[in-house]
A and B are shown apart, each in its own frame.
Chain A
Amino acid sequence: DGGITQSPKYLFRKEGQNVTLSCEQNLNHDAMYWYRQDPGQGLRLIYYSHIVNDFQKGDIAEGYSVSREKKESFPLTVTSAQKNPTAFYLCASSTSGSINNQPQHFGDGTRLSIL
């Protein structure tokens, strides 16, 4: 079955540590997205990528970094510069084509907590 796989499901970060969240998709989608979800704040876009080797900052990119070396993969690194990383992180992907008509498909999320 095609889909998006996020790992790990739960992740703990120590102070001053960088951690990387994995996102892999086998839907052959061009575009991929990372969101952060906090209680009562909906979804906030961290980074997005519409094509391999290219990505753009979203609304809350500070303290995060990404890479898009392969079409299937879009890992997110939460750096030590992100002072409040505790949240639920969601990865999504969508096809190219008509710009405004494509839904996004989501993984099951990674819950990151501070030790």
Chain B
Amino acid sequence: GDSVTQMEGPVTLSEEAFLTINCTYTATGYPSLFWYVQYPGEGLQLLLKATKADDKGSNKGFEATYRKETTSFHLEKGSVQVSDSAVYFCATGAGNNRKLIWGLGTSLAVNP
């Protein structure tokens, strides 16, 4: 069945370091791909999305490119800040019933 696999955390980085959080998916068809962010004690916020192969989603310095050949949607940021500390979730809109398939989340801690 459809699934999303994220790299396990926690990920700990120093401020201004480069961030990559890996996400791969299995799905039939051509699903949309999403990254969400969850700050402590809050709900999830959509960070970026891509709807077709080779699309690049970007927001707040984060980027992810929809790679159909590798079924991946890795999240990257060139220079992280302490305020980026949060849990990041990858999700796909696979399936024909408007449900999202979620990864387990990757916790990021950025130290000053």
Contact = CB atoms under 8 A, between A and B. Distances in A.
User: Sorted from nearest, which 5 A-B pairs have the closest CB atoms?
Assistant: A106-B43, A100-B93, A42-B104, A106-B44, A101-B32
A17 interface: no
A106 B34 CA distance: 14
Interface in B88-112: 89, 93-100, 102-105
Contact of B94 (A43, A48, A100): A100
A105 B47 CA distance: 11
B69 interface: no
A100 B42 contact: no
Nearest to B100: A104
Interface in A70-113: 90, 92, 94, 96, 99-109
Nearest to B47: A103
Given A31-B98, A102-B98, A109-B41, 16 more contacts: A40-B104, A41-B104, A43-B89, A45-B99, A100-B30, A100-B93, A100-B98, A101-B51, A101-B93, A102-B93, A103-B32, A104-B44, A106-B36, A106-B44, A108-B43, A109-B43
Contacts of B97: 99
Contact of A103 (B34, B41, B103): B34
A68 interface: no
B17 interface: no
Interface in B12-50: 29-32, 34, 36, 41-46, 49
Interface string A15-42: 0000000000000000101000000111
Contact of A100 (B36, B44, B89, B95): B95
Contacts of A33: 99
Most B Cβ at <10 Å: residue of A4, A6, A42: A42
Nearest to B96: A99
Contacts of A108: 42-43
Interface string A49-66: 010000000100000000
